[in-house]
Structure 1
């Protein structure tokens, strides 16, 4: 009996710690009642017919929330896999989440199982931000989703037939390089410059508009986006207790929704303008290509299915391309500048390759990419050592399934620990070492994709913008290395401590660099 009482008292302390703003309203009596109910559910789950993968013991009602909120969540999961195996189960409240920590198990989830794990979990807060799951990233695997993704993919292919991606990158980086020149060799933090360059590129691609970096509207948009990301943290209490959405939503969630709506309104205004000025003979940007792809689908596809693809769906598609493309690219580029400054010998080798392939009389272009495999290898290695989305997007089981000999009940959430895949010593020699040579063959050419390299996921839910992101980042990196020498300020050392970790992302912490024009 003493053991049970001790566990209940520990549970009260953990409950009050996890609930944050709500802890003022949790009394010992209510906590005991909640814990009693949680214990009942917990034991029912343990005794049901399913044999879930093993994992750390959850706190009744709360689950493994402390682990989920840890800054080094992905690293802890990798350590737990050494004890419990390649797939482990942790609990978000009373709901199990299966974490996949090896490429072999990830391949089973993403490819060999076909569509068995192709759904997304129905997270209350995510449904709010996606207009009830009308986006592509978090929508369920349905005929509507397939058509929605097909239309978006068609729009991307149509748009990329021209030179607009290259033009957008050249135009934005020209402004960025001018700002670098203004530093006159003084140390500075490049984060804002990277953010503004990347948002200008994505804005040009989506809406055929380019802003000056000192435009107040432009800066305001980026400030809102950064505030939005900072406010997300590790999730919302409403995802544990959905009833709060109806009776008592927290100020944090309502504040984040207000920020998101400001950004969505920009997309809506652009979509309305593009529909009013649409000219089939002049596809100006991705938004025009998206409108055109939908019009073409209307002549070929099931009209009932297309009726479900409203302007809200198109807005959400724009949101997927815009914000996912913006954040992953800018975070990767922030890491790129830091690693190039910290590894001058690797920087010089890439610069020599770029000089041989392009010279100094013009900026690199998309057609030069095959001639710069080492630069591509540098980018691939940065995507590995600085995995900006360590847990990727969560999956959900569409049916009762099996994984590594364990039961995965329908609607169970599955997360791929991409950080663990990118640091698995079975597949990477000295995984902590920054080594672009890993990706090259004996002749110095880019070799086959490494088995355990998965920054864009795979299978039916593979990143829609993978081909665009790879080409975009490669060209940006090549231009910056062609034009500048990048270094750590004198007397300082590179600090690779990330600023945000865990489920929320993996971004470079504050750092400064020195950039000087190459002569």
Structure 2
């Protein structure tokens, strides 16, 4: 991740360039000084008005840029609890961000406070990517959000009732099995194969389509998605000074806008194609379910409902389900491959369980899941030790409220440090050790959900895709272990380096494994 200090310096250089045409009236330096002074005064007034949680001392205007620039932000935030307690405040520029680092406080925010913290962090980049908050993931807690959440949730439940999910996974994994077979036991970077498998499952769910690994559209979309994640992970000067996004966006913000437009175009084309071939009596996939909701509103001439089901709203809901589902799933599986290769005893025990439950003559199915608790525990432990969304999606206070006795003004950003929850030594013995047994009871069955395990969040903004992600991930992992031995190349020590880190995500860098067909 680029150093945030460099990002801020680039941003202020951008400001200086923007003000150069005005230099006959005022020098760029004096304008910047004036702007900085004004923002600093505003920041000090607002900061002293409320009793916010304590935190590391921020610099005027720049905030805690050195902390935010850390490549291990979630661990650094966890360490700060020793000095400031389970909740503290850091600043992105002049904007306070309250960080929650324990399950007890997270439960207060997500569950006990009901909807007090159910809004989302709003910024120039979020507004750009969500078409002004018309999606599910980033929009505030409104009636429109509730409607789209209800429609999407209903579609997911309908999908899970039949055998469509299993068929989609089996169809996608058949391609992946062949690709790994073709490696002939040679070391391979598994990322592209994983990306294709997950991409096709979501394509089948949303659009009833599948792609090959050499398909130009598949390659391009994954590349665009990766580029966009990297750019978002580095932050934008426009999120500190939102007016820049409208009057003079930086090159990075412009690039992010262009990349987003490419993803939007892909979704818009699929939506248009589905609308043209839509059959009211036969819903093929998730996209048809969304169109059906709009058709019903049209038939009922419900103008209020139609205003909440525009093409932009439908597009944004599809983007949430499709790309959010792809990214969290593929990053989890990339970590799974590395941890399972680095822990051969764990792998062997899971394979024995799968063989006993399924045999060797067919692929595992969704109905086999209850008979494979150890395999599920391996997945859960992967999701704990490699928390792919370390801060989840940032919340915001809907009203002036309290947390741990401190003031949380309306609109204040609140982030849950899921990584800290998953590494809290009060709840996890030897948290740095990969140990699936921690999720099992004394009889070897899957035990109750551990208190401090929260990969899908909780409360009103709990992950919409949790109900489909759990069986999907379990079945993918079971199929891979059923079909292959996954090993590190001889003499290779596992390298748990990351590509993205900080607020946006936590995914593993490229590594090689040997994927050998089991007999």
TM range (shorter): over 0.9
What does 1:318-357 correspond to in 2, within 5 Å? Answer: 318-357=318-357
Per the alignment, in what secondary structure is the counterpart of residue 268 of structure 2?
helix
Task: Give the match for residue 189 of structure 1.
Answer: 189
Unpaired segments ≥5 residues, structure 2? 17-27
Task: Give the match for residue 483 of structure 1.
Answer: 483
Task: Give the match for residue 397 of structure 2.
Answer: 397
Per the alignment, in what secondary structure is the counterpart of residue 120 of structure 2?
coil
* Of 450-459 and 24-33, the range deviating more from structure 2: 24-33
Task: Give the match for residue 9 of structure 1.
Answer: none
Per the alignment, in what secondary structure is the counterpart of residue 80 of structure 1?
helix
Asked if 1:157 corresponds to 2:147, the answer is no
Cα pair distance change 1:455/1:400, threshold 3 Å: same
Check whether the contact 2:233–2:505 (CA below 8 A) recurs between aligned residues.
no
- Tell me the C-alpha RMSD between the 2 structures: 1.9
Superposed displacement of residue 212, structure 1 = 1.8
Per-residue Cα deviation, 1:271-322 (whole angstroms, up to 9, x for no partner): 1111121123322111112223444567789652442221111110000000
Determine the C-alpha separation between the residues in 1 that align with 2:267 and 2:41: 47
Per the alignment, in what secondary structure is the counterpart of residue 485 of structure 1?
strand
Unpaired segments ≥5 residues, structure 1? 1-13
Determine the C-alpha separation between the residues in 1 that align with 2:369 and 2:299: 37
Cα pair distance change 1:300/1:144, threshold 3 Å: farther
Task: Give the match for residue 20 of structure 2.
Answer: none
Cα pair distance change 1:59/1:100, threshold 3 Å: same
Determine the C-alpha separation between the residues in 2 that align with 1:297 and 1:461: 26
Determine the C-alpha separation between the residues in 2 that align with 1:220 and 1:17: 27
Per-residue Cα deviation, 1:80-105 (whole angstroms, up to 9, x for no partner): 11100100001111111100000000
Check whether the contact 1:390–1:502 (CA below 8 A) recurs between aligned residues.
yes
Per-residue Cα deviation, 1:25-57 (whole angstroms, up to 9, x for no partner): 657655554443344234323431x11000001
Asked if 1:371 corresponds to 2:371, the answer is yes
Cα pair distance change 1:335/1:60, threshold 3 Å: same
Determine the C-alpha separation between the residues in 1 that align with 2:123 and 2:301: 30
Determine the C-alpha separation between the residues in 1 that align with 2:322 and 2:287: 11
The number of equivalent residue pairs is: 505
Cα pair distance change 1:144/1:276, threshold 3 Å: same
* Of 267-276 and 98-107, the range deviating more from structure 2: 267-276
Determine the C-alpha separation between the residues in 1 that align with 2:11 and 2:84: 34
Determine the C-alpha separation between the residues in 2 that align with 1:259 and 1:38: 31
* Of 251-260 and 346-355, the range deviating more from structure 2: 251-260
Determine the C-alpha separation between the residues in 1 that align with 2:262 and 2:14: 32
Superposed displacement of residue 24, structure 1 = 7.3
Runs (4+) of structure 1 exceeding 3 A deviation are 14-17, 21-39, 293-303
Task: Give the match for residue 9 of structure 2.
Answer: 19
Check whether the contact 1:156–1:289 (CA below 8 A) recurs between aligned residues.
no
What does 1:267-306 correspond to in 2, within 5 Å? Answer: 267-296=267-296, 303-306=303-306
Task: Give the match for residue 168 of structure 2.
Answer: 168
What does 1:413-424 correspond to in 2, within 5 Å? Answer: 413-424=413-424
Per the alignment, in what secondary structure is the counterpart of residue 204 of structure 1?
helix
Check whether the contact 1:166–1:366 (CA below 8 A) recurs between aligned residues.
yes
Per the alignment, in what secondary structure is the counterpart of residue 360 of structure 2?
coil
